[in-house]
A and B are shown apart, each in its own frame.
Chain A
Amino acid sequence: MTTQGQTFLTNITNGTKVRLLKIDAGQGLKARLAAMGLLAGAEFKVINNGHPGPFVIELKGSRMVLGRGMAGKIIVKLSER
């Protein structure tokens, strides 16, 4: 499902800035992520797409690692440059 520049976070290459559109997960998990600043509209940069190493993003100045399964539930859109 990659309509209109929407894609799963796992498809994003290193160094790309994206905007979060939707998280495909249960309410509890979404709220947890929201508390860490990962909610619809949040802009962040993919530092490392897991090759090699963990999936790392930079969000509001801090580094976060995401499990691959987690990253596969996050739908994003490329930010306009």
Chain B
Amino acid sequence: MIPPMAEKIKKITVALAGNPNSGKTTIFNSLTGMRQHVGNYPGVTVEKKEGFCRYQDYELDIIDLPGTYSLTAYSTEEVVSRNFIIEQKPDVVVDVVDASNIERNLYLAVQLMELNVPLVLAFNMSDIARQKGLVFDIEKLSALLEVRIVQTVGNKKQGIDELLDGIIQTAQQQPKNPASLIKYGSEIEKEIEKLQQKFDELRNDRWTVIKLLEQDADVLGHIHNEEIVISVMESILRLKNIFGEEPEIIIADRRYGFISGACQETVKNTVEIRHNRSDMIDTVMTHKIFGLPIFIAMMYIVFDLTFRFSEWPMGWLEMFFGWLGRGISGFWSAGSDNILKSLLVDGIIGGVGGVVVFLPNIMLLFAAIAILEDSGYMARAAFVTDRLMHKIGLHGKSFIPMLIGFGCSVPAIMACRILENRRNRITTILVMPLFSCGAKLTIYALIIPAFFAEQWRGPVMWLIYFIGIALAVIAAKILRITLLKGETIPYVMELPPYRMPTAKSVLLHMWERGWLYLKKAGTIILLLSIILWAAARYPRMNAEKLAGLNDAEAQTAMLKYSVIGRAGSTLEPALKPLGFDYKIATALIGSMAAKEVFVAQMGIVYAVSEHDDASVLQEKLRSDYTPLQGFCVMLFCLISAPCIATIAITRSETGRIGWAIFQWAGLTTLAYMVTFVVYQVGMLIF
């Protein structure tokens, strides 16, 4: 007897498309569970999620395409989606349709039909559609559109098996030719026919012809035959003459016409929609006067809670790394200066541990963001802050990553993924380090009490934060009118109804971001930490030269002798106009790893032993520098050289090392200029 195992597992690739807010992510999660991973589409910073699912004798490889309303060439997401479908030819495309909002959602479906792909429509949110009183004649609609339709309720996992059955049946079928279903009216059809007859390469490619008539930049760019381009332009001119409008708009209109027609016959609305709950919540949430305070209060609660709750696990992690460090040190005799010990304890645990400690914070922050997004509040928040952000050429949603930036630039830059527009996203990422993060706060906490009298401490702190924000605003504005010029996406957005977020979606989101962060810490941050560790340690001094010095003094001497110490001395002349000597320069270079290292390095430079409290160091600082110099140090730390974790995340989130370098060099130059002016002017006044 042949065991059933011998049956061959068949592979099916499935691409998941759908409008934003249609419940696509929920369906994706229901299909794949934890078997998924996140990457990027090659060359662009659009997130690519892939997951796997075993069903009967099939292994499904499911790719989550970005959520889009259509398949034009006007946004990266849309180009990515359609290129994936055209180039990778998935066996089945599932379009997740918000059934409670059917006409708008079918627009994408119609465009997918035009692509002639084996299509399954998942009519999701069918519970809400029912509540709204919509009744579908699924059989008839399915026949009209010549596609399989499955009703689902994503968050209750209803219809998932039926969807899987539909996928498998569709994969086995001979592909139909639904593209010819949609007719664009005799004038446009005539032009399509003309072009198809004239050029062999267009004969079987109705989709390309339509895209050409729509003046799709991406498709046009792939046509190298001049004659085709000329003929297309002629067709477009003729159509413009007839309609007095771009053919593109007419084509969109015809698609909607087709959808309307199909819906008229198959969708019945049994209840007149009245004011719903979402409307009532919205009158408060987006109120002209109360909207902003409500938003700020919400953000305050979110941050307060995330920082409060992450305190404990962060403490545990700190304890763990401390324990690990001591445990490893224990293998060597006390005071030993073994290189392996130093590498493990100071380099790796110190560097990577310092970054990993923030993990709980990051996971909670992203859980909070997931709740805000899934509940539908994010769309409102974006609106409320939009007026403010528009002035600096950014989108309202940029506000949220910026707020996170006060905690740590790394999750803030990761959170920029909520920004759909690329220029917007990159601008926000680039200015992010100007928001004083938690690590910079440790520098302020050292310096402010050292130089400023009690009553001035608050205002000075406030001033530093304010300078950062002001510079970020100016920098963003400048970037948006120079390097990252482009229309700010005029504000049109769907307002999704308020919904209860599901625990599963929130947990998955949290897990995903946490994992991404850990991977960063384990790779690039690890590497850079080791490099900086080595630079602070080598070359070594002769042991005899250290004779007679106590521990702290010996450390000072060794640091001075190392690459970092030498670089500090070399840079001293260049930093003198800013009021910095070689000690500050050395600490600044050390703080390139992470801002809080500045404090530790200052301690080493001044031979303060680790056991003394901050006031010892502050005393020494006070005797060596003026308050103006102290202020300039803070200013420089605020603006200059983002830490290695930020560099790493900027590189991966923008997709280009160039942006990371630009950010680093640009901010460091800016820091130099600003500090220079402040110090020189300050010298004249004081």
Interface residues of A (CB under 8 A from B): 25-42, 47, 50-54, 56, 59-67, 69-70, 73
Does B104 touch A at the CB level, under 8 Å?
Answer: yes
Give every chain B residue within 8 A of A52 (Cβ-Cβ). Answer: 287-289
Does B495 touch A at the CB level, under 8 Å?
Answer: yes
Of all chain B residues, the one with the shortest Cβ separation from A56 is B495
Of the stretches B68-76, B305-313, B646-654, the one at the interface is B68-76
A30 CB to nearest chain B CB (Å): 6
Of all chain A residues, the one with the shortest Cβ separation from B69 is A35
Give every chain B residue within 8 A of A29 (Cβ-Cβ). Answer: 487, 490
- Contact in complex: A67, B492 (CB < 8 Å): yes
Give every chain A residue within 8 A of B273 (Cβ-Cβ). Answer: 61
A67 CA to B568 CA in the complex, in Å?
A: 51
A53 CB to nearest chain B CB (Å): 4
- Contact in complex: A34, B248 (CB < 8 Å): yes
Contact pick for A39, options B253, B282, B490, B497, CB 8 Å:
B253
Does B494 touch A at the CB level, under 8 Å?
Answer: yes
Known contacts A27-B246, A52-B288; decide if A32 and B72 are in contact (CB<8 Å): yes
Does B582 touch A at the CB level, under 8 Å?
Answer: no
Contact pick for B70, options A26, A30, A35, CB 8 Å:
A35
Does B598 touch A at the CB level, under 8 Å?
Answer: no
A60 CA to B105 CA in the complex, in Å?
A: 10
B622 CB to nearest chain A CB (Å): 52
A24 CB to nearest chain B CB (Å): 12
Does B386 touch A at the CB level, under 8 Å?
Answer: yes
A23 CA to B616 CA in the complex, in Å?
A: 68
Give every chain B residue within 8 A of A33 (Cβ-Cβ). Answer: 492
A61 CA to B97 CA in the complex, in Å?
A: 14
Does B227 touch A at the CB level, under 8 Å?
Answer: no
In order of increasing CB-CB distance, the 8 nearest A-B pairs are A67-B491, A52-B288, A35-B70, A34-B252, A63-B495, A53-B286, A60-B103, A62-B101
Of all chain B residues, the one with the shortest Cβ separation from A70 is B490
- Contact in complex: B492, A38 (CB < 8 Å): yes
- Contact in complex: A39, B252 (CB < 8 Å): yes
- Contact in complex: A31, B287 (CB < 8 Å): no
Does B245 touch A at the CB level, under 8 Å?
Answer: yes
User: Beta-carbon contacts of B492-505 to A below 8 Å, as 1s and 0s?
Assistant: 11110100000000
Give every chain B residue within 8 A of A30 (Cβ-Cβ). Answer: 246, 248-249
10 A-B pairs with C-beta separation under 8 A: A28-B74, A30-B248, A31-B248, A31-B252, A38-B492, A61-B132, A62-B101, A63-B278, A63-B495, A67-B490
Give every chain B residue within 8 A of A53 (Cβ-Cβ). Answer: 282-283, 286-288, 291
A60 CB to nearest chain B CB (Å): 4
B559 CB to nearest chain A CB (Å): 55
A75 CB to nearest chain B CB (Å): 14
Q: Which residues of B from 462 to 516 have beta carbons under 8 Å from A? A: 487, 490-495, 497
Give every chain A residue within 8 A of B104 (Cβ-Cβ). Answer: 36-37, 59-62
- Contact in complex: B252, A65 (CB < 8 Å): no
B2 CB to nearest chain A CB (Å): 53
A68 CA to B275 CA in the complex, in Å?
A: 23
Q: Which residues of B from 98 to 139 have beta carbons under 8 Å from A? A: 100-104, 107, 132
Interface centre among A31, A32, A39, A66 (most CB of B within 10 A): A31
Contact pick for B100, options A28, A37, A39, A61, CB 8 Å:
A61
User: Beta-carbon contacts of B626-644 to A below 8 Å, as 1s and 0s?
Assistant: 0000000000000000000
Contact pick for B101, options A51, A54, A61, CB 8 Å:
A61
Give every chain A residue within 8 A of B444 (Cβ-Cβ). Answer: none
Give every chain A residue within 8 A of B286 (Cβ-Cβ). Answer: 53-54
Give every chain A residue within 8 A of B72 (Cβ-Cβ). Answer: 31-32, 35
B212 CB to nearest chain A CB (Å): 14
B644 CB to nearest chain A CB (Å): 39
Number of B residues with CB within 8 Å of any CB on chain A: 42
A27 CB to nearest chain B CB (Å): 6
Does B256 touch A at the CB level, under 8 Å?
Answer: yes
Given pairs A34-B252, A36-B492, A53-B282, 8 additional interface contacts (CB within 8 A): A39-B256, A52-B289, A56-B495, A60-B101, A65-B492, A67-B491, A67-B492, A69-B491
Interface centre among B132, B245, B383, B492 (most CB of A within 10 A): B492
Give every chain A residue within 8 A of B100 (Cβ-Cβ). Answer: 61
- Contact in complex: A34, B487 (CB < 8 Å): no
Does B215 touch A at the CB level, under 8 Å?
Answer: yes
- Contact in complex: A35, B252 (CB < 8 Å): yes
Interface centre among B245, B252, B253, B289 (most CB of A within 10 A): B252
- Contact in complex: A47, B69 (CB < 8 Å): no
Contact pick for A62, options B214, B491, B494, CB 8 Å:
B494
Of all chain B residues, the one with the shortest Cβ separation from A51 is B288
Contact pick for B383, options A32, A36, A60, A65, CB 8 Å:
A65
A64 CA to B494 CA in the complex, in Å?
A: 4
Known contacts A34-B252, A65-B491, A65-B492; decide if A40 and B245 are in contact (CB<8 Å): yes
Of all chain B residues, the one with the shortest Cβ separation from A52 is B288
Give every chain B residue within 8 A of A38 (Cβ-Cβ). Answer: 492
A40 CA to B250 CA in the complex, in Å?
A: 9
Give every chain A residue within 8 A of B132 (Cβ-Cβ). Answer: 61
Of all chain B residues, the one with the shortest Cβ separation from A37 is B104
A28 CB to nearest chain B CB (Å): 5
Give every chain A residue within 8 A of B390 (Cβ-Cβ). Answer: 67
A12 CB to nearest chain B CB (Å): 16
- Contact in complex: B74, A39 (CB < 8 Å): no
Does B279 touch A at the CB level, under 8 Å?
Answer: yes
Of all chain B residues, the one with the shortest Cβ separation from A28 is B74
Give every chain A residue within 8 A of B491 (Cβ-Cβ). Answer: 65-67, 69-70
Interface centre among A38, A51, A61 (most CB of B within 10 A): A61
- Contact in complex: A31, B249 (CB < 8 Å): yes
Give every chain B residue within 8 A of A70 (Cβ-Cβ). Answer: 490-492
Give every chain B residue within 8 A of A41 (Cβ-Cβ). Answer: 253
A27 CA to B316 CA in the complex, in Å?
A: 56
B396 CB to nearest chain A CB (Å): 10
Give every chain A residue within 8 A of B291 (Cβ-Cβ). Answer: 53
A20 CA to B390 CA in the complex, in Å?
A: 26
User: Beta-carbon contacts of B378-394 to A below 8 Å, as 1s and 0s?
Assistant: 01000100100010000
B605 CB to nearest chain A CB (Å): 53
A62 CA to B246 CA in the complex, in Å?
A: 26
A54 CA to B132 CA in the complex, in Å?
A: 24
Contact pick for A35, options B101, B103, B107, B487, CB 8 Å:
B107
- Contact in complex: B103, A61 (CB < 8 Å): yes
- Contact in complex: A40, B249 (CB < 8 Å): yes
Give every chain B residue within 8 A of A34 (Cβ-Cβ). Answer: 248-249, 252-253
Give every chain B residue within 8 A of A28 (Cβ-Cβ). Answer: 74, 487
